[in-house]
Amino acid sequence: MEHDIRDLFRENNDANIEIPKNHRAEFLDKLKYQHKKQNGFQRKSMFKIAASIAIILVCSVYYFYVNNQVEKTPLQIQVAAIEKEYLINIDKEWEQFIEVAEDSVLVNKYKIKMHDFDKDYQKITKELQKSPNNIYMLEALINNLQRRLELIKNIKEHIKELNQKNTSNETIYL
């Protein structure tokens, strides 16, 4: 089946046919149409890929969110309520202390003490999450919150007493 390529072209009658004048324009139009078709296909496929990724991400986030929610025991619910109540009272008392206190050194001193209590509170909370039914951790948590609240109340009372002594020792000259 060996043939000389030159012989094939001599025998081919199609090679002698003349190309129409608008052939080049038609070819370019067909090429542009094909290119648009391919771009449309690429865009559609990219949208499909992006939508698939978005759906997978949403499903995985939902799955992990639902699985990580553990039902709390009645004891944990009660502890959370007590903890919330104490924290609200502590914040309220601290704000009142800041309003009453005039000495910035005293405020900074007690701010440091409160920060230390807060560090202990964070540690106890982490331990309590690890073993939620540990009665010693529950007692430590409640004691920490009580000490913080008592500290602030004692400070406020002390400041009120100092302010009363200062106002009673003043004399008024006319």
Q: What are 12-65's pLDDT values in tens digits?
A: 666 566 777 888 888 888 888 777 766 666 677 778 888 889 999 988 888 877
Contact between residue 90 and residue 148 where contact means Cβ atoms under 8 Å apart: yes
Q: What is the pLDDT at residue 173? A: 47
Query: Is residue 1 very low, low, confident or very high in pLDDT (cuts 50, 70, 90)?
Result: low
Domain ranges of the chain: 1-69, 72-168
Q: Taking 80 as the threshold, does the pLDDT of residue 124 lie above it?
A: yes
* pTM exceeding the 0.85 threshold for the entire prediction: no
Query: In the chain, which residue ranges form alpha helices assigned H by DSSP?
Result: 5-11, 23-68, 74-100, 104-130, 135-168
Residue with tokens 């202990």: 120
pLDDT (tens digit per residue) in 79-95: 788 888 888 888 887 78
Amino acid at 17: I
- CA end-to-end distance (rounded Å), the chain: 135
Q: What is the pLDDT at residue 32? A: 81
Q: How far apart are CA 87 and CA 141, in angstroms?
A: 12
Q: What is the pLDDT at residue 93? A: 79
Q: How far apart are CA 102 and CA 97, in angstroms?
A: 10
Q: What is the largest CA-CA distance in the chain?
A: 135
Residue with tokens 């609200």: 88
